[in-house]
C-alpha cells in the first residue's frame, strides 16, 4: 500500500512539474528576493494573467503571494486562526449559512485593503466567501483555481 501511494505521489509530482507554466524571470527574482528560504514553491497563472506563488515559510506555514506580470507583489495571503478572525465576519457567515462548516480562513493583505476569505462546506457544497476590505462580499465557486489546484490523496 505504501509503495502504491509513493508511486502515485511521484507521478503527481512529475505531472505538476511538467505542466507548470514557465515563470517570467522578473517575477521569480522578485519573489526570491522577498521570500528568502521559501520552500515547496508552486507557481500558477490565473485568468487575469497574474502569477501566484504558493509556498512554505517557516514562520507562517503555507502562504500565497500574488504578483503582477511586471513582478510587483500585489497581495499576500496567510491562513489565520480563531483569535485573528473578526467576530463580525464569523457572525455574518453563520447567519447566511447556518449549516456550514468553516474549514479555513485566510487574510489577504494588499496595499489598500485587508480582505478575508472563508473556505466553507455548506450542505455538501464547497465554496469560498471573499470579504473585501471595502465592504463587498463575493462567492468564490468550487471550480476556482483556489480549490481546483489542490491534490487530495485518500487512503483506500
Structure confidence by residue, pLDDT tens digits, 69-85: 899 999 999 999 989 99
Cell numbers at 11, concatenated = 507521478
Asked if residues 73 and 80 have their Cβ atoms less than 8 Å apart, the reply is no
Element (H, E) at 17: helix 2-19
Indicate yes or no: pTM above 0.85: no
From-to residues of CATH 3.10.450 in the chain: 22-77
Residue 62, pLDDT score: 87
Asked if residues 142 and 110 have their Cβ atoms less than 8 Å apart, the reply is no
Question: Could you give the 3-state DSSP secondary structure of residue 79?
Answer: strand
The architecture that CATH gives domain 22-77 is: Roll (3.10)
Question: Could you give the 3-state DSSP secondary structure of residue 3?
Answer: helix
Asked if residues 52 and 44 have their Cβ atoms less than 8 Å apart, the reply is yes
User: pLDDT (tens digit, 9 = 90+) per residue, 84-141?
Assistant: 999 999 999 999 999 999 989 999 999 999 999 999 999 989 999 999 988 899 999 9
Amino acid at each position: 500500500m505504501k509503495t502504491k501511494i509513493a508511486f502515485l505521489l511521484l507521478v503527481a509530482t512529475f505531472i505538476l512539474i511538467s505542466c507548470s507554466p514557465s515563470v517570467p524571470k522578473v517575477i521569480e527574482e522578485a519573489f526570491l528576493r522577498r521570500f528568502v528560504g521559501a520552500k515547496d514553491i508552486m507557481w500558477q497563472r490565473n485568468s487575469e494573467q497574474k502569477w501566484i506563488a504558493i509556498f512554505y515559510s517557516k514562520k507562517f506555514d503555507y502562504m500565497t503571494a500574488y504578483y503582477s506580470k511586471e513582478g510587483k507583489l500585489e497581495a499576500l495571503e496567510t491562513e489565520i486562526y480563531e483569535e485573528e478572525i473578526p467576530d463580525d465576519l464569523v457572525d455574518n457567515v453563520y447567519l447566511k449559512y447556518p449549516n456550514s462548516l468553516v474549514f479555513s480562513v485566510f487574510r489577504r493583505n494588499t496595499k489598500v485593503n485587508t480582505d478575508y476569505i472563508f473556505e466553507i462546506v455548506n450542505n455538501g457544497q464547497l465554496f469560498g466567501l471573499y470579504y473585501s476590505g471595502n465592504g463587498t462580499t463575493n462567492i468564490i465557486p468550487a471550480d476556482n483555481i483556489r480549490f481546483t489546484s489542490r491534490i487530495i490523496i485518500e487512503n483506500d
